[in-house]
Structure 1
Amino acid sequence: MWSNGRKWLERALAIAPERPASRERVEATIDAALLASDQMDTAVAKQLAEAALAQAQELGEPRSTVRALGALGFVSWKQKAYLLAWTHCEQALALARVLQDKILEANLLHILGRIAMNQNNLESARSCLEQGLAVYQELDDNLGANIASSDLGLLAYLQHDFASARRYHERSLHSFREVGDIAGMEMTLNRLGDVARCENDYDEAERCYTECLAIYRETGDKDEIPSLLHNLGYVASYRGEYFRAIALFGVFVAKGRKPTLRLSQIAVKASQLCNLVVDSDN
């Protein structure tokens, strides 16, 4: 879907005259930059965002300027240039607040929270995400609030506050189910499985991972399946189901993913179990 959207935007930009600059062209360029960034075509995304910013400033379009700065921040975040990403988004946030544009403010706070999380600045991440969540709730933006809540759950998970992580994720999952947001359900079920696994609640972890796996298979999202089977392999290994764990990890490795230390440890335990079985037969 994103690929088709990007093609249509790029086709429209190709046939539209570059001069005189127009707000519509600037907005389309920003959208194309964001789509390219989501597809990890960050070099093209950066060029598009820079072009959009230059045209927005030339036109004196403040809202487009904020969006273009935010797009540059988003692209830099995808490129893992976190300091540059923070600078762009912080500038954009200041302008959004001058304009009193709440939706841009919430979106930028959310991106800043994710950037801070990547920099391991967890308190700053919490502050930005909580502020963003409050603005989304003020706007009755359920999608934004759900994503912000899920990211606060991820942050709590990173801080080993598993009770808070579960509370945030369960809230998000309930809302995602209500609106039928499949991508949100996938993300949150996977994160809930991680939380349950860390709490040694392996039945709940398997339930979450298995439901997520069923959704991946139903939607044809095959790229994510190996990682989810890897998570199920961890659950099986902690239960002492070593042969099942090896089978689940095997799919992960067969897809060209790097074997984990856990896999080699499980193989040793499975081998020891085989020896025990042989000894008992003798």
Structure 2
Amino acid sequence: MVDPRYIGVFHEVVRTGSYTAAARNLGYSQPAVSQQMRALERVLETPLFLRASGGLELTEAGRILAGHADSVVEDLTAAENKIAAVRELRRGSIRLCAFPSASATLVPSAVARVTEHHPELRIRLSEAEPPDSLEALRRGECDVALAFSYPGTEEPAAADITGTDVLDDPMVAVLPVAHPLADRDSVALEELAGQRWIAGCPRCRDHFLRSCEAAGFEPDIAFTTDDNLAVQGLVAAGVGIALMPALVLSFLRHPDVVGRPVAGLPHRRVTAYALWEQHRIPATALMLETFGRIGAEMAVGS
């Protein structure tokens, strides 16, 4: 295999007509250029230059290599320029995977901030609930995954993944506006023991059931859906009440429902994840940092 660096030096020797001129242009010593050309000839097992009275002349093999060297050097230069653009965030792409309420809140703010300073970056979004989003990350289907966890469902420490804390998302009780507790500043979960409930996604539902058990009751679940808008519609229609992350109600609220904080209920944790081997990639690192800053700002403003 020919070392591409030798091709670059060879190209400069051919262009300038001498080892000395090539060495001067490349910032090498003349012996270093001579050594690399001898090494190139050894790899190819044939002479490339003949010394003549007028200077260096190419052998037939040298002329063949010279015919390809221009395109090799151009391709390598183009590749180096593109890599520099990616490194300097002047081009490139980022694939995000997020759960729906993060897609509607955290993602738009983060994307707007990133693309304001790096408009050539292209960002693609897909949606998945955890743990599916983390599996997508491990399969290489996304670069950054936004996921949530509840106490007892935290992602185990893994050598292949790094996480950046984004925010703690409190849980609220979603009630019809005419509900007897709708005017309260907050409610305790045990106060809602006799209600019928609308349950959400599997991970949320598991947390809900464990919270109700800790509060001393088993909930009467009347309906189950992953659709947050449907949950609110069902609550407004009087089918039941629901437990929902505050992040959802920050952008989506049915006019006939209210959200009330549930005292003493643990928050869900939102985290941005990336593979360890990718977190040093500039675009990935920038997105992780941006999600962290957005989450901190949202927490201060809440």
**Which has a greater percent of helix?**
1
Structures share a fold, TM > 0.5? no
> Per the shorter chain, which TM-score range?
under 0.3
**Which has a greater percent of strand?**
2
Which is bigger in relative contact order (C-alpha 8 A, separation at least 6)? 2
TM-score normalised according to structure 2 size = 0.23
Larger radius of gyration: 2
TM-score normalised according to structure 1 size = 0.24
